[in-house]
A and B are shown apart, each in its own frame.
Chain A
Amino acid sequence: TQLLEQSPQFLSIQEGENLTVYCNSSSVFSSLQWYRQEPGEGPVLLVTVVTGGEVKKLKRLTFQFGDARKDSSLHITAAQPGDTGLYLCAGGGSGGSNYKLTFGKGTLLTVNP
């Protein structure tokens, strides 16, 4: 069974601070996706990383996929209250099950004004 561990589980910071959340596994994933989920809504895809060592930037968010494709990080620069939400990482399966996503438990981020 492939497991994804996310840390920290909870994070409360002030507006303007920087933060990094982590997603780790002992398994190799074909791809790694990051989602943000707001209360009462479904997860919304932020980014997909595929290649080991890949770095992607989305405005103030920087995503990195580990060289061995087992871990990933999300860094947010100058956090804003609108960044508040549950950040989930999800690993894609391999071979014929590459459609199947395995999610971590998420990091619940609160950005205080």
Chain B
Amino acid sequence: GAGVSQSPRYKVAKRGQDVALRCDPISGHVSLFWYQQALGQGPEFLTYFQNEAQLDKSGLPSDRFFAERPEGSVSTLKIQRTQQEDSAVYLCASSLMGLAGGQETQYFGPGTRLLVL
């Protein structure tokens, strides 16, 4: 089945490098979310897109984090000048509607595990 896919699954970066993480949502899903999950923690909301519009970026930790979804499907989360504290699993999720349905299902991808040395 065509679930949410993310690439790469693992990324090792040296401190100061830029990284780009890709998310392919379920086809036709309007809403897309990015979460950060540190070791031993639950996922924390980063940002939310409805189609190509970024409606909420309140969870992005700093201006080094940037997300885009230019054509309303694939999304990229970019982290500039990575720091050790950026090491975490970055999860992407999509849902059919998002804003119109507060209780609808978010489908998560397997995540990208980022390690910054």
A residues adjacent to B (C-beta < 8 A) = 4, 30-31, 33, 40-45, 48, 50, 88, 90, 92-93, 96-106
Contact = CB atoms under 8 A, between A and B. Distances in A.
B43 A97 contact: no
Nearest to A49: B103
A42 B48 contact: no
A101 B106 contact: yes
Interface of B: 4, 31, 33, 35, 40-45, 48, 56, 91, 93, 95, 98-99, 102-103, 105-111
Given A40-B110, A42-B4, A106 B42 contact: yes
A103 B59 CA distance: 13
A37 B43 CA distance: 11
- The residue in A31, A99, A100, A104 that gathers the most chain B C-beta atoms within 10 A of its C-beta is A99
A99 B110 contact: no
B109 A100 contact: no
A31 B103 contact: yes
Contact of A103 (B40, B43, B102, B105): B43
Contacts of B45: 100-102
A101 B106 CA distance: 10
B97 to A, nearest CB: 9
A45 B102 contact: no
B94 to A, nearest CB: 11
Contact of B31 (A30, A50, A99): A99
Contacts of B40: 105
